């Protein structure tokens, strides 16, 4: 301030005067703009340095000034004593034209403004892509990427048409939270991508490929689980706004494949899923599909184009094919059920939960019949053993002699691999070995301990079994078991025979952190009946009377059973203990408490999780 009460407003930077807002004699507030300068193509509003009356304007429009140059001189007075010259505060509820334009464009992507597309989904009994995403993610948590993208077809269609009919280029993608009511923000974060079948049949267009690439790179950087709604027709041939010829340099498949073993990935299908969409689906750790799904690496057009016949979409790869062959892990009734299962599946990789309850464990004492030849339901054993409502079985219809389930025990996630005595007596065949080995990889990749429930006469035998390449498939259990880094345990429910039993213990009864048996346990290098017939064939053949021969055979089997029963095997320390079935949970929980928690990792434990 000068001695005479005059204050100069000076240039805060070098620039050109493009506007003078005041005139001499105007009353100004210290926040009032008096001059506008342009510097580096940007306009800068310069406020008065003090409140008062403008005495003189020292510059003119078009003048170039240096930093510190005087712009306006103001006689300082008490502005509050004059008329009200307070600076207006902005209306926080007002919507400027530029924002209104964005809001109108965004609204065009919403289901409320896509009545025709929504009606088509309702007619098929399905939900929209945005409805599925909203159901999966916690309310208000989903942040979308690329919502304003449109199909790369400006050379053949108007922009207005593309905006109306190709919102988000057929892919709703972003980041949200899943199960945030049970887990903290770090563990609830999730990336979600949903193809929109109402947009060009959910095909993979140029822009939505770029969106996938962007999201997959963010997923890798932030270590986010992924849920992919994969319904769609594969690659899109109609995009024009590209320089692409073959499109084989697309990065999405490499980027998504690289996520295997790094983060949990879930694929969901309702309806048709062909070609590129199916390829991404097949990369997922788990596939959840509704009963109306048809999945194939080539759709009807590709099949017919290859001269292989004409088929309806639902004939290409229906659930009746893909549930028994192992492609689909969980079959559900509809998309709502699929989302529910996806949330449950993700929860096992989000950590323990604090609230749980379980069945009366004394029920396990009668779960295995006293009659050693009587079959029983091992799924009931799993349900009794695990926390209530915590069991999620994968690939139920494939490899039926082996059961693989994710469960919780006292709130802790656990993988269970169990022989199924109702199928081939629990013998391990090629499909069962593949199913178990792949599940073991999945659990190990994401630090989920494994419990083996063993009741097997061994591996399947015979010419038919060998035609399935059993030698290679069965051995997957040994090489996978030997590579496990998570804690694993074996409980022998009844039969523990031969190589099959060893495979249910990571290769050896002394490989798990404990191997225990229930009182019904029985052991041997091979099944008792087979061992007796093979080892004592000469003695049995020497008995001429068939009835006497059979009686002697039963006596030999009885002696072998006494020799191989769990109590006797424990005396030579081939197993760690024989336990009360009701103590199984306590035994497991105490062992888990003795194990140090897994170290936090930046990368992968395993290079990938086998897709098969």
Q: For the beta carbon of residue 311, count every other beta carbon within 10 angstroms.
A: 15
CA dist., res. 257 & res. 15, Å (int) = 53
**534 and 514 fall within a common domain:** no
pLDDT of the residue at 80: 63
Q: Which has the closest alpha carbon to 386: 110, 608, 585?
A: 585
Question: Please, where are the H alpha helices in 108-158?
Answer: 115-123, 129-136
pLDDT of the residue at 84: 52
Read off the pLDDT band of 82 (50, 70, 90). Answer: very low
| Residue 177 CB-density burial (10 A; 0-12 exposed, 13-18 middle, 19+ buried) | buried
**154 and 285 fall within a common domain:** yes
Q: Looking at residues 69-85, what average pLDDT do you find? A: 77
**459 and 532 fall within a common domain:** no
The full DSSP string for 440-491 is: HHHHHHTT--EEEEEEES-B--SHHHHHTTHHHHHHHHHHHHHT--S-EEEE
Read off the pLDDT band of 552 (50, 70, 90). Answer: confident
Would you say residue 404 lies in a domain? yes
Would you say residue 384 lies in a domain? yes
**170 and 282 fall within a common domain:** yes
Q: Looking at residues 177-196, what average pLDDT do you find? A: 96
Contacts of 33 (CB under 8 A, 6+ apart): 21, 45, 46, 47, 48
pLDDT tens string 261-297 = 999 999 999 999 999 999 999 999 999 999 999 999 9
SS (H, E, C) 316-365: HCEHHHHCCCCCCCEEECCHHHHHHHHHHHHHCCCCCCCCCCECCHHHHH
**151 and 279 fall within a common domain:** yes
**Confidence check: pLDDT of 81 > 60:** no
Would you say residue 114 lies in a domain? no
Read off the pLDDT band of 3 (50, 70, 90). Answer: low
Domain termination site, one of 52, 81, 110: 81
pLDDT of the residue at 12: 96
CA dist., res. 170 & res. 273, Å (int) = 14
Read off the pLDDT band of 83 (50, 70, 90). Answer: low
Read off the pLDDT band of 2 (50, 70, 90). Answer: low
* 523's tokens: 């052991």
Domain termination site, one of 22, 54, 81: 81
Read off the pLDDT band of 86 (50, 70, 90). Answer: low
Would you say residue 330 lies in a domain? yes
**459 and 555 fall within a common domain:** no
Show the domain range for 418. 361-521+566-593
More confident residue, 597 or 270: 270
**275 and 241 fall within a common domain:** yes
Residue 27 maps to which CATH number? 2.40.50.100
**420 and 461 fall within a common domain:** yes
CA distances from 107 to 121, 224, 276 (A): 19, 28, 29
pLDDT tens string 411-460 = 999 999 999 999 999 999 999 999 999 999 999 999 999 999 999 999 98
Number of domains into which the chain is organized: 4
* 381's tokens: 């054993």
Q: Which residues pair with 17 in a beta bridge?
A: 37
**71 and 151 fall within a common domain:** no
600: which DSSP letter? Answer: P
pLDDT tens string 383-402 = 999 999 999 999 999 999 99
pLDDT tens string 357-383 = 999 999 999 999 999 889 999 999 999
Would you say residue 608 lies in a domain? no
**576 and 445 fall within a common domain:** yes
Would you say residue 100 lies in a domain? no
Residue 576 maps to which CATH number? 3.90.226.10
pLDDT of the residue at 315: 92
Contacts of 222 (CB under 8 A, 6+ apart): 189
**In whole numbers, what is the pLDDT of the chain averaged over residues?**
93
Would you say residue 510 lies in a domain? yes
**66 and 54 fall within a common domain:** yes
What phi, psi does 6 have (nearest 5°)?
A: -105, 135
CA distances from 319 to 326, 330, 427 (A): 10, 10, 26
CA dist., res. 166 & res. 208, Å (int) = 11
Q: Which helix (H) or strand (E) holds 142?
A: none
CA dist., res. 226 & res. 287, Å (int) = 12
Q: Which of 147-156, 255-264, 300-309, 567-576 has the lowest mean pLDDT?
A: 300-309
**560 and 570 fall within a common domain:** no
What is the separation, in whole angstroms, between the first and last Cα of the chain? 80
Would you say residue 98 lies in a domain? no
Domain termination site, one of 317, 347, 377: 347
Highest mean pLDDT pick, 84-98, 283-297, 540-554? 283-297
């Amino acid at each position: 301030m000068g001695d005479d009460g005059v204050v100069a407003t000076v240039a805060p930077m070098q620039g050109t005067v493009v506007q003078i807002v005041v005139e001499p004699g105007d009353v100004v507030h210290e926040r009032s703009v008096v001059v506008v300068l342009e510097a580096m193509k940007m306009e800068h509003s310069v406020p008065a340095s003090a409140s008062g009356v403008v005495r003189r304007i020292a510059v003119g429009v078009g003048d170039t000034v240096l930093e510190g140059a005087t712009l306006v001189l103001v006689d300082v007075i008490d502005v509050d004593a004059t008329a009200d010259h307070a600076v207006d505060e902005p209306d926080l509820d007002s919507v400027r034209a530029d924002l209104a334009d964005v809001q109108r464009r965004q609204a065009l992507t919403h289901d409320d403004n896509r009545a025709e597309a929504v009606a088509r989904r309702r007619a098929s009994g399905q939900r929209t892509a945005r409805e599925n995403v909203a159901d999966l993610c916690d309310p208000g948590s989903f942040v979308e990427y690329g919502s304003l993208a449109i199909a790369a077809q400006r050379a053949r269609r108007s922009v207005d048409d593309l905006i109306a009919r190709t919102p988000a280029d057929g892919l709703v993608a972003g980041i949200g939270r899943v199960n945030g009511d049970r887990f903290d923000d770090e563990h609830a974060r999730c990336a979600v991508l949903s193809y929109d079948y109402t947009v060009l049949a959910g095909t993979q267009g140029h822009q939505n490929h770029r969106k996938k690439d962007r999201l997959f790179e963010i997923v890798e950087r932030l270590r986010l689980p992924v849920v992919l709604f994969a319904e769609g027709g594969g690659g899109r041939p109609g995009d024009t706004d590209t320089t692409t010829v073959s499109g084989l340099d697309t990065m999405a498949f490499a980027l998504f494949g690289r996520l295997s073993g790094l983060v949990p990935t879930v694929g969901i299908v309702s309806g048709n899923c062909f070609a590129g969409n199916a390829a991404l689906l097949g990369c997922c750790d788990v596939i959840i599909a509704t009963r109306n799904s048809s999945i194939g690496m080539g759709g009807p057009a590709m099949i017919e184009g290859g001269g292989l016949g004409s088929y309806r979409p639902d004939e290409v790869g229906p659930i009746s094919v893909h549930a028994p062959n192992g492609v689909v892990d969980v079959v559900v009734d509809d998309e709502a059920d699929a989302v529910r299962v996806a949330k449950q599946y993700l929860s096992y990789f989000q950590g323990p939960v604090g609230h749980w309850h379980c069945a009366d464990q004394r029920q396990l004492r009668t779960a295995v019949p006293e009659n050693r030849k009587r079959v029983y339901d091992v799924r009931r054993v799993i349900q009794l053993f695990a926390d209530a409502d915590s069991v999620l079985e994968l690939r139920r219809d494939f490899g039926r002699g082996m059961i693989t389930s994710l469960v919780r025990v006292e709130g802790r996630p656990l993988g269970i691999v169990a022989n199924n005595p109702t199928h081939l007596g629990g013998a391990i065949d090629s499909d069962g070995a593949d199913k178990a080995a792949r599940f073991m990889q999945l659990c190990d990749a994401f630090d989920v301990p494994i419990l083996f429930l063993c009741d097997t006469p061994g591996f399947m035998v015979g010419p038919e079994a060998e035609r399935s390449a059993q030698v290679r498939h069965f051995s997957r259990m040994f090489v996978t078991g030997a590579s496990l880094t998570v804690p694993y345990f074996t409980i022998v429910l009844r039969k523990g025979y031969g190589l099959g039993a060893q495979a249910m213990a990571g290769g050896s009864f002394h490989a798990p952190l404990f191997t225990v048996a229930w009182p019904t346990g029985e052991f041997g290098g091979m099944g008792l009946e087979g061992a007796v017939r093979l080892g004592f064939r000469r003695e049995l053949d020497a008995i001429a009377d068939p009835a006497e021969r059979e009686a002697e055979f039963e006596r030999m089997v009885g002696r072998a059973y006494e020799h191989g029963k769990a109590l006797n095997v424990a005396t030579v320390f081939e197993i760690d203990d024989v336990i009360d079935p009701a103590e199984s949970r306590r035994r497991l929980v105490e062992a888990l408490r003795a194990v140090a928690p897994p170290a936090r990792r930046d990368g992968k434990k395993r290079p990938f999780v086998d897709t098969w």
